[in-house]
């Protein structure tokens, strides 16, 4: 069966899965600090993608996607810390969400590159 590909749905799923990661963190000073940072950064790509869909200009679109990439990279860094410190065990449970983070970074980065490239292409007149 072919999987329906909807980037907004994929980002919503990502955020929901990251909320599960946040909720699984230990109730310690470091766990709470990472949870606080992560809860903000895991929502941002989804919300900014929604804003990008209604961008006022190509530059605004590129800017919003740039924020998505920045926040996804922050999520990736937090996951690396969680894995390295084994704050959630077994760390193998985090492999799928880590991979999804990498894929979303790649998709968004490619989208930015395409939008920048298309910026210099003149529009066809009818």
Q: Could you tell me the pTM of the whole model?
A: 0.89
Cα–Cα distance, 68 to 91 (Å, whole number): 25
Cα–Cα distance, 115 to 63 (Å, whole number): 11
The reply to whether 44 falls in a domain is yes
In this predicted model, what pLDDT tens digit does every residue of 73-111 receive, in sequence order? 999 999 999 999 999 999 999 999 999 999 999 999 999
Structural domain of 95: 7-116
The reply to whether 66 falls in a domain is yes
The reply to whether 39 falls in a domain is yes
Task: Identify the burial level of 11 via C-beta atoms within 10 angstroms of its C-beta, where 0-12 means exposed, 13-18 middle and 19 or more buried.
Answer: buried
Tally of domains within the chain: 1
The reply to whether 2 falls in a domain is no
User: How many whole angstroms from its chain centre is CA 68?
Assistant: 6
Q: What is the CATH number of the domain that holds 87?
A: 1.20.1440.60
């Amino acid at each position: 069966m072919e999987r329906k590909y909807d980037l907004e749905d994929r980002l919503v799923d990502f955020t929901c899965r990251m909320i599960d990661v946040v909720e699984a963190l230990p109730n310690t000073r470091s766990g709470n600090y990472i949870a606080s940072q992560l809860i903000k950064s895991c929502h941002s790509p989804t919300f900014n993608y929604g804003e990008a869909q209604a961008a006022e200009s190509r530059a605004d679109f590129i800017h919003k996607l740039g924020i998505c990439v920045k926040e996804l990279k922050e999520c990736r860094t937090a996951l690396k810390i969680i894995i390295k410190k084994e704050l959630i065990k077994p760390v193998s449970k985090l492999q799928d969400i880590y991979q999804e983070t990498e894929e979303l970074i790649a998709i968004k980065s490619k989208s930015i590159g395409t939008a920048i490239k298309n910026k210099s292409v003149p529009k066809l007149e009818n």
